[in-house]
Amino acid sequence: MQISRRPAGIALLVFTLGTFAALLMTAAPAGNYSLSQIHGYLAPDGRATIFAGAVIGVLAALALLYYLSVLRVGMPPGRGRDLAWGSGIAAAATAAAGWMIAAAIPIAYAQGGGHVTLTPSVVYTFGVLSAGMIYGPAMLFAGVAVIVAARQLRMVPGWWRVLGYIGGACAILSSAYFPYYLFAAYGVVVGLWGLLAKGAPVTEPQREAVNAA
């Protein structure tokens, strides 16, 4: 049974572009400590954008799950397929939690009115926690899933498999910040290939008929 790769390509593009958009929209304070960035993050006129970014990030995490579910169909049963799917679930769950942490403080300020007051250092700590979850374990699990899928899938081009190894490794190293952008480039290239190219990305392994004795 052949599986169309177009839905997989769309899902990967949604995950890649949605995650990138969410990072830009939430803009949680992390990295170099900056009071101006923290004050901008807490500004009332930016709360709707931050919340929308968090929602987009959660939807992007769900798109990653859908992408892996399509690839999972083409993997032979066994530990590799289970590892890829389990890693995808862990990546999506960790990312979703990270996005909601990024939006938690602006939402608290909006709902609590003038009764909520946090020091800049506490706000910064929550921003670092959010970024750490997204760039750290979320991307690490996503990278593991991509690498295992590249190894397990049978009917894929050689270049697709190589890009899977490279992209997955970059995802694992995303906590160093710059490799994330290489992983995003991988997602755009492979996603566009799945969307625009003809044919099927994977073929479900044929089950051998068992003859009763």
Residue 65 has pLDDT above 80, yes or no: yes
Residue 210 has pLDDT above 50, yes or no: no
Residue 208 has pLDDT above 50, yes or no: no
- What pLDDT, on the 0 to 100 scale, is given for residue 3? 52
pLDDT tens, position by position, 30-64: 888 889 889 888 888 888 999 999 999 999 999 99
DSSP class per residue in 41-79 = HH-GGGHHHHHHHHHHHHHHHHHHHHHHHHHHHTSPSSH
- Tell me how far apart the alpha carbons of residues 14 and 61 are, in angstroms, rounded to a whole number: 9
The amino acid present at 81, given as its one-letter code, is: R
- What pLDDT, on the 0 to 100 scale, is given for residue 112? 84
CB 143 within 8 A of CB 169: yes
The CB-based long-range contact list for 30-35 (8 Å cut-off, 24+ gap) reads 30/124, 30/127, 30/128, 30/130, 30/131, 30/132, 31/131, 31/177, 33/124, 35/120
Q: Enter the pTM of the model.
A: 0.86
- Tell me how far apart the alpha carbons of residues 139 and 3 are, in angstroms, rounded to a whole number: 26
Tell me what the mean pLDDT of segment 15-22 comes to.
Answer: 96
From residue 144, how far is each of 141, 148, 149 by CA, in Å? 5, 6, 9
pLDDT tens, position by position, 151-199: 988 778 889 899 999 999 999 999 998 999 999 999 999 999 988 876 5
Question: Percent of the chain at pLDDT above 70?
Answer: 91
- Tell me how far apart the alpha carbons of residues 153 and 151 are, in angstroms, rounded to a whole number: 6
